[in-house]
Amino acid sequence: MLVRVRRNILITGGSSGLGAEMARQFAAMGRNVAICARRTDRLRQLADELAAAHPQSKVVNRTLDVDDHEAVFNTFQEFDEELGGLDRIVVNAGLGHGYPVGTGKFEINRATAHTNFVSALAQCEAALEIFRRRRDGHLVVVSSMSGLRGQRGHGTTYAASKAAVANLAEGIRADVFASPIKVTTLLPGFIRSEMTANAHRTPFIVDTHVGVRAMVRAMEREAATATVPRWPWLPVSWLLRVAPVRLLARA
């Protein structure tokens, strides 16, 4: 099946980690890239790097805190106008902080839940307003393998937020199923980034470039849902879905 080329791509959380590497790989493919994040200095540094390395690609950037929902709508619209129409929007910004529930760290868990779900909802709303108006577009939502099952300890709130955002993407996909608008849910396994900086003994972890390359390939296929990298995370996803809770409690 032939899939159209999406030339103008917006990536949130684009100043570092997976978002920055997505921007690098798409710019290397000749795509125009819009990146936004909270850290202005790192954002501008990346934009300068991409512009120098890939002059054939237009690179634009804006400082954005996705928890400022009014700013999300305004920024997405500004990017859409600046690039002459956004073709793909990647909802990538998120937090990985968390503590076991009931240990006095509610504020941290609430921030993770709010950014990873409520602010993702704001990004999806802003994206779909653009795509519905144009009757075309590709929404990509970055969930996680952690969202397939509940997680213990520090991962409880994070996993729940990633399950929520995956269900959000599936609901949107069902809503626009008969239209040209496409929706992709990405379920990354362990990929090196700032979020996994302390994961020294994490099994199956891959370098940022390798992991993001798998994510980009899934986006280019416009797969409905993709575990990335496919190996070993596809079989792991099957096991996770049937594993008894007593095994999850030991993980």
Catalytically active residues are 158
d(CA 174, CA 185): 13
CATH superfamily ID and name for 8-248? NAD(P)-binding Rossmann-like Domain (3.40.50.720)
- 8-44 pLDDT per residue, tens: 999 999 999 999 999 999 999 999 999 999 999 999 9
- 204-240 pLDDT per residue, tens: 778 999 999 999 999 999 999 999 998 888 888 888 8
d(CA 20, CA 4): 23
Give residue 133's Cα distance to chain centre. 23
Report which residue type is found at 175. Answer: D
Nearest to 141 by CA among 250, 223, 234, 242: 223
d(CA 159, CA 76): 27
d(CA 42, CA 139): 25
d(CA 3, CA 113): 34
| Residue 138: strand, helix, or coil | strand
**pTM of the model as a whole:** 0.93
d(CA 123, CA 28): 25
